A and B are shown apart, each in its own frame.
Chain A
């Protein structure tokens, strides 16, 4: 076939794809008979109401000498690992505020960290394009540093996010500036699967975040600078299960909803969205009007029931959204003892009783409910 003939076919194929996309878009609009807030209002629900001293900062974890970029809780109750611009990971007992480990990293430019399910290892990654694993029970070297026990190399760009597969200490998923996600076998340091890359349904720009489904660990979602979130099945690396459009800027953070059937996203467009995993529907947009510049969403986390959505923004705010009513019910950024800078990361403890926030102000803070609880 001649080049001219091929170009003709290319033009025709382009038109077909465009037409199909438009059809899909219109079909989804027809199915959008309500959103979550509209439905909840129709069922007579009212927003969560917090008293002024209900959610309080009950711990401030100090010790990093640079901005905090990432944090992760253990799956048992109280330990947290944090990563900072100071080139270190710190492991904390959040109940006592004590530091149990301070790990000097071979590459100071760390962006993400994660605890293994058994709490015995931590993983981190960053601009070195490597995901490094540290065994917390190993002896220190002669300089008093914990040595790397595994280096997962293979990404061709920075490692933006990492998470261990729940209940599997040997498997971990990373996201990268090279537009792919990788499932690793930590024991052998081998890449088991690469999601995206040369396949058409992969991300077309840096991937910034991953979240693995806690109820079905074969499914994970990724968020990217291509303004989409994509759902993956770890058994099928060749194509994304579904691509979720809607955001108008980088999707900087994704998090599965506690029931495992939905997930939240946060973006540079200043909004968060809730998507349904099985149908692909966009269920709700969480957006508040701003005068002037719209703050970017940096991080999100759901409370254990999913009723609350905690959102960190680039201007230091930390909104508590009522997920059902799509209303901001509290701003942790305006409470006493709140952070003095941008909040970069958030996470709930395993039992849902505490929220940890990490900030450019170099601190981590623990927030819990200190008011009177009504049980129904």
Chain B
């Protein structure tokens, strides 16, 4: 089981600005950042609500297992059918594995 890693940085500097006398950012810029933060709040609240109705990871794992095991796979030593003879075309006929060696100049 893997613990989720810590949140990574986002677009917005989430360090609250110190109350400086030297901060010369304009009103417009702060307003724009505020708007982005408010939108992000709405998105995060939506995601939290969705998560309330979300199944645990084990449910997704069950589906994954079924999806993997029912599909024929030419690269597996043990696989479901049906197989296809063309899967083995790589080993048929003259196999000059060096093939065309002309150098593009």
* Contact between chains at A58 and B84 (CB < 8 Å): no
In the assembled complex, which residues on chain A have CB atoms less than 8 Å from the CB atom of B105? 65
Given known A39-B58, A324-B65, contact A63–B102 (CB-CB < 8 A): yes
Q: Inter-chain contact count A-B, CB under 8 Å?
A: 284
In angstroms, Cα B44 to Cα A375, docked, is: 47
Complex CA–CA separation, A369 to B73 (angstroms) = 10
B interface residue count range (under 10 / 10 to 19 / 20 to 34 / 35 or more): 35 or more
Q: Could you pull out 23 A-B pairs where Cβ atoms are within 8 angstroms?
A: A20-B41, A27-B51, A29-B3, A31-B56, A32-B4, A32-B56, A40-B61, A43-B65, A48-B77, A50-B77, A58-B90, A61-B99, A63-B104, A97-B96, A204-B10, A247-B8, A259-B68, A304-B71, A304-B74, A368-B74, A369-B76, A370-B90, A376-B78
A308 adjacent to B4 (CB under 8 Å): no
A245 CA to B103 CA in the complex, in Å? 44
User: In the complex, which residue of chain A has the Cβ closest to the Cβ of B90?
Assistant: A368
Contacts of A305-326 to chain B: CB distance below 8 A: 305-308, 323-324
What is the distance, in angstroms, from A237's C-beta to the closest C-beta of chain B? Answer: 15
CB distance from B46 to the nearest CB of A (A): 10
Our pick among A27, A246, A323 for the contact of B48 (Cβ within 8 Å) is A27
- The answer to whether A86 and B104 touch across the interface, beta carbons within 8 angstroms, is yes
Given contacts A58-B91, A63-B103, contact A17 B16 (CB under 8 A): no
Contact residues in A for B87 (Cβ distance below 8 Å): 351, 353, 368-369
Q: Which residues of chain B in 47-105 are interfacial with respect to chain A, using CB atoms and an 8 Å cutoff? A: 47-48, 51, 54-58, 60-65, 67-69, 71-81, 83-84, 86-91, 95-105
- Check if A289 is an interface residue, CB within 8 A of chain B: no
What is the minimal beta-carbon distance from B90 to any residue of chain A, in angstroms?
A: 4
| Distance of A59 from chain B, by nearest CB (Å) | 5
